[in-house]
Amino acid sequence: MPTVRSPHGEAVALVDHHIHGVVTANLNRAAFELLISESGRPAPAGTSHFDAPVGLALRRWCGPVLGLDPRASPDAYIERRGQLGADAVNRLLLSSAGLELLFVETGHRTDEVASPPEMAALARADAFEVVRIEAVAESLARAIVEIGGDTAGWLSGVQAELEKAALSAVGFKTIVAYRHGFDLPVVRPPRRAVTGALDAWLSGRVGEDRLRLEAPVLIAEVLHQALEIAAAHGLPVQVHAGFGDTDLDLHRADPVVFTPWVRVAASLGVPVVFLHCYPYHRQAGYLAEAYANVYFDVGCILNYAGPSAGRVLAEALELAPFTKLLYSSDAFGLSELAYLGAVQFRRHLAAILDAFVDTGECGRDDAERFARLVGSENARRLYPVDRACRHRPVAAAPAGVPDRW
């Protein structure tokens, strides 16, 4: 697959600009299946989450890394995983993904998964942190409620925490699509409305440990704060878009609905990076073409679409400049998803660009250049990798890119 190789022939190492930690404990089949579906539930009686496109792709590509046949059954796969143990599996799969850099988002089920330094060690590649804005805001709310503190301190506290995070993080991430939807009014809410919503949220909730940031005025205020801080520190803001779990109304996660916020970010000079986007990846491509500050990826749909991932990636490349698409696996929990994401991205990008070359749409030099842009250089140009805190794998040579690429 020459188009994911450099002019000198070696495969391009990827920047996975949005990944979560992997579970470090062993997993039985039921627990494993929960991590290959957005449903958050077991498959209906008599069925299995393996009987989905992601199940096919996972068996095909991850099985051989663990020494199995590509057609091994789900049970055989889980058994083999158990024999090797989670740590060996995670090291095998993550270090086989051919990653150069990992940007690890740390705001989702943080205590259950590996941290950025741990991810660096497993993948034998440098890791950076992406800070989830809502997690910062909710963590502080819990702290205030726990100690019965003054809720009025929340706003300034969030600002201070985000400022602090901006000194080490490589970017921010927002899940506003989950917490309200992109139809969030962009006008900055008046201070009185913010403090009113804050009181309604936090007053009298001492001892509660689940506090969700859901009031629109609070989300908007925090988002405005984060954009200003991102502007001051040169950080891009990642934005979950498109499909996800059942906590989301899909049509309200269409990135074009976020256009008014894109314009605000543009006025501040802040890049906005839409993540995943399916089935609105064409819309994301349009935004990337029309707005200088918009970037995007198709993230985990390359895993979830399994055999059909190539069509989705091809559509993402219909209108978007080659300078605006990035790579991410959006893997959460399973190192399989980090490895599979890299496999799917490499082989389908190569197929698309090779077809361009074969049908005369462009020369091989251009195709190879686009592969490097999308796989690595766009992310390196966009994110402050020279300033942000870099977690290096300790006591091990970088993984490099396996020969198989």
Residue listed under structure tokens 């699509």 = 177
Residue 348 near residue 301 (C-beta atoms within 8 A): no
- Is residue 384 near its own copies by the rule CB under 8 A? no
- Is residue 292 near its own copies by the rule CB under 8 A? yes
* Helix ranges (DSSP H) in 48-132: 53-65, 74-84, 86-95, 116-123
- Is residue 259 near its own copies by the rule CB under 8 A? yes
- Kindly tell me which residue out of 250, 264, 268, 385 binds its own copies, with binding defined by CB under 8 A: 250
The residues, ordered by sequence, that sit 6+ positions from 191 with a Cβ below 8 Å of its Cβ are none
CA distances from 354 to 117, 143, 308, 350 (A): 36, 53, 17, 6
- Is residue 362 near its own copies by the rule CB under 8 A? yes
Of 80 and 282, which CB lies nearer to its own copies in the complex structure? 282
- Is residue 291 near its own copies by the rule CB under 8 A? yes
CA distance 83 to 86: 9
Nearest one of 400, 331, 336, 303 to 92, comparing CA atoms: 336
Other CB atoms within 10 Å distance of the CB of residue 216:
17
Query: In this chain, which stretch among 9-17, 53-61, 124-132, 227-235 interacts with its own copies, using CB under 8 A?
Result: 53-61
* Tokens representing residue 157 in the block: 């506290």
Query: In this chain, which stretch among 9-17, 47-55, 135-143, 233-241 interacts with its own copies, using CB under 8 A?
Result: 47-55
Of 64 and 149, which CB lies nearer to its own copies in the complex structure? 64
Of 135 and 374, which CB lies nearer to its own copies in the complex structure? 374
Q: Using omega within 30 degrees of 0 as the cis cutoff, is the peptide bond preceding 279 cis?
A: yes
- Is residue 315 near its own copies by the rule CB under 8 A? yes
- Kindly tell me which residue out of 279, 389, 402, 404 binds its own copies, with binding defined by CB under 8 A: 279
In the complex, which residues of this chain contact its own copies (CB under 8 A)?
37-39, 41-44, 46-49, 51-53, 56-57, 60, 70-71, 243, 245-246, 249-251, 254, 256-257, 259-260, 263, 278-279, 282-283, 286-287, 289-293, 301, 304-308, 311-312, 314-315, 317-323, 355-356, 359-363, 366, 370, 373, 381
